[in-house]
């Protein structure tokens, strides 16, 4: 699941990005309206989180252009607290949902899930990959039916890999999603984490592509 995050406030953007990635979404962040418009117009996203107060081009204008150009991906708009006028305008422009700032991260996640579910149709909350099963509701992992106790970081890492099963994920991508872009480049934290997860799950469930990254193979 790819999500486009258009938000110029670094603090908020970082928080949202972290939450999204640890929920297993692949996040692409942009911080200007023009960039948002361009990316959203030329790439496919499963959803967009769009702040209205963007530099260079107003969020509403971006949205209008997308819709005018037949881009129908679900868009969740962030608005300033209490600005109902913006909401109404946004609704007319074709937004699918709204969230006033400040918001609770959980609510954003819930609404985004709802949007994606509505548009894509029933993404199961349980990821299955061969013997490996990850229940996102219970945050529980089993291998061949045997429950595995994972720590928070371990769970996030595995969740991300499983949400992108069959794709090679680089160490930097993992680090970005686990720690944010301020991750230290010189650290083997990811390697250690991979090791710990492997020890608990079984060594073969996560493969290494030396020089590129890791992946959990599809229907292993």
Partner DNA sequence: AGCCGGCTGTCAGCGTACTGTCAGGTTCGT
Partner DNA sequence: ACGAACCTGACAGTACGCTGACAGCCGGCT
**Site residues for DNA per CB under 7 A:** 149, 151-154, 171, 178-179, 184, 187-189, 191-196, 198-199, 203, 208-213
> What is the x/- site pattern for a copy of itself, positions 15-54, by CB under 8 A?
-------------------x---x--xxxx----------
Question: Site for a copy of itself (CB under 8 A): which residue of 181, 196, 198, 200?
Answer: 181
- Alpha-carbon radius of gyration of the chain: 18
What is the spatial distance between Cα 93 and Cα 217, in angstroms, rounded to a whole number? 41
Dist CA 121 CA 105 (whole Å) = 23
Can residue 146 be called a binding residue for a copy of itself (CB under 8 A)?
Answer: no
Please report where in the chains the tokens 């969020």 appear, as a residue: 59
How far is residue 78's CA from residue 94's CA, in Å, rounded to a whole number? 14
Of 149, 173, 165, nearest to 216 (Cα)?
Answer: 165
Q: Tokens standing for 123?
A: 């993404």
**Binding flag, residue 176, a copy of itself (CB under 8 A):** yes
Q: Which residues bind a copy of itself (CB under 8 A)?
A: 34, 38, 41-44, 82, 84, 87, 98-100, 103-104, 106-107, 110, 137-139, 151-153, 155, 166-168, 170, 172-173, 176, 181, 209-212, 215, 217-218
């Amino acid at each position: 699941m790819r999500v486009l995050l258009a938000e110029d406030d670094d603090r908020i953007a970082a928080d949202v990005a972290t939450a999204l990635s640890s929920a297993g979404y692949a996040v692409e962040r942009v911080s200007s309206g023009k960039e948002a418009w361009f990316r959203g117009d030329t790439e496919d996203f499963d959803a967009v989180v769009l702040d209205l107060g963007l530099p260079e081009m107003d969020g509403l204008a971006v949205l209008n252009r997308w819709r005018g150009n037949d881009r129908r991906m679900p868009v969740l708009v962030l608005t300033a607290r209490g600005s109902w006028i913006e909401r109404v305008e946004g609704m007319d422009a074709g937004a699918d949902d709204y969230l006033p700032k400040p918001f609770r991260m959980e609510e954003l996640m819930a609404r985004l899930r709802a949007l994606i579910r509505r548009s894509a149709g029933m993404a199961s909350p349980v990821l299955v990959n061969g013997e490996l099963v990850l229940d996102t509701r219970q945050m529980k992992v089993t291998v061949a039916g045997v429950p595995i106790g994972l720590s928070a970081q371990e769970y996030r890492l595995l969740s991300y890999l499983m949400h992108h099963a069959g794709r090679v994920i680089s160490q930097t991508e993992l680090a970005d999603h686990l720690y944010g872009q301020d991750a230290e480049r010189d650290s083997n934290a990811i390697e250690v984490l991979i090791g710990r997860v492997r020890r608990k799950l079984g060594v073969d469930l996560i493969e290494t592509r030396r020089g590129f990254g890791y992946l959990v193979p599809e229907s292993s």
